[in-house]
Amino acid sequence: MVSLIAQDLERVWEEARSLAESQLEEVGQLVRQFVLQPVTPVATCQFENAVEECLRFDGPIPLTQRIPHEDVVFGEKTIPKDTSVLVLLAAANRDPDHFPDPDRFDITRDPNPHIAFGGGAHLCLGTHLARMESRIAIGHLVERFPKLQLESETVEWGASLFRVPGALPIALA
C-alpha cells in the first residue's frame, strides 16, 4: 500500500516536472522569436500583443490531431469518419484570408485571431497560465535587458515534441 502511494507520488511528480519543463521550453521559443525580430515594445500593454504575435508567427505547437467519429464536410471535401487528420495550426496562423501580410511579424496586429492554443472542446487548458507566464517572463526579460541579442543564427531544436529551442545563447547587453 505504502509503496503504491510512493509510486503514485513519483508519477505525479514526474508529470508535474515535465509539464514545468515543457512550459519553460515553450517560453524559450517565444523569447527566441522576440529577440529575432527588431521590435521594442514601448508600453507594457504591448507585451500582450507581442506574446500573441509570437504565438501566431511561430508558436511552440505547430499541429494537432483529430479523428472524426462521423463523416465531416470541410469546405469542398468530406473527411470520412475514423480518419486521422493532422491539423496544421502553424499554417492556419499564416492564412492570408485571416491575417493581412501574414509573413510579417507585427506586434501591433489587431485583431490577432490565431489558433496557437488549438480550439473547440480541446482548446489548451493552460491557455491563461501560458499567456500570463509568457508576458511576465518576456516582459521582465526585455525590460531588464533591453539590448538582448542572439549569439548564434543557428537554432538547435530541442528533443521535445514541441517546436522549442534546446538552448538559446543570448548576449544580454
> Residues in the site for ligand HEM, rule: CB under 6 A?
19, 23, 26, 59-61, 64, 89, 116-120, 122-126, 129-130
CB of 76 or CB of 115, closer to ligand HEM: 115
Measure the CA dihedral 157/119/15/17, to 10°.
50
CB of 129 or CB of 171, closer to ligand HEM: 129
CB of 102 or CB of 118, closer to ligand HEM: 118
Query: How far is C-alpha 23 from the geometric centre of its chain's CA atoms?
Result: 9
How far, in Å, CA of 89 to CA of 65, rounded? Answer: 10
CA atoms within 13 A on the CB side of 36: 18
CB of 6 or CB of 13, closer to ligand HEM: 13
Shortest distance (Å) from residue 91 CB to ligand HEM? 13
Shortest distance (Å) from residue 46 CB to ligand HEM? 18
Residues 6+ positions from 32 with CB-CB distance below 8 Å = 150, 155, 165, 168
